[in-house]
Amino acid sequence: MISPSPKYLPPSLERPTKTEILKKAIEHFGIDNQIDVAIEEMSALTQALIHYKRGRTANIEEEIADVYVMLQQIEMFFGSQYAVDTFREYKIERLALLLKKEGAL
């Protein structure tokens, strides 16, 4: 697994928070561009998963991280983290019910 190196971090002592960085990315690049990047990163993850299934080298962890970073920006622009978390909890509960129904949980 590849680990990000601290040497790539900016030297500033007053570091912005991760949320500030993501908000600034939307503001600076624009939501249309960030949607395009999100689509590109989701496609890259798709490709990595296909490579994995075919037994080829796949940088799945890095691609998942890229998708998370873009999804956080999409979430910030289009909705609230509370709403997304609520949907996520509901869908996990629904999955649990399905697994129980099928005797797997």
Site for Mg ion, rule CB under 5 A = 41, 44, 63, 66
Residue number with the smallest Cβ distance to Mg ion: 66
Nearer to Mg ion, 69 or 76 (CB): 69
CB nearer to Mg ion: pick between 39 and 99: 39
- How many whole angstroms separate alpha carbon 92 and alpha carbon 20? 29
52 vs 87, which CB is nearer to Mg ion? 52
What does the DSSP 8-state code read for residue 55?
T
- Tell me the one-letter amino acid at 45: L
Task: Please report how close the Cβ of residue 100 comes to Mg ion at its closest, in angstroms.
Answer: 36
Residue 35 CB-half CA count within 13 A? 5
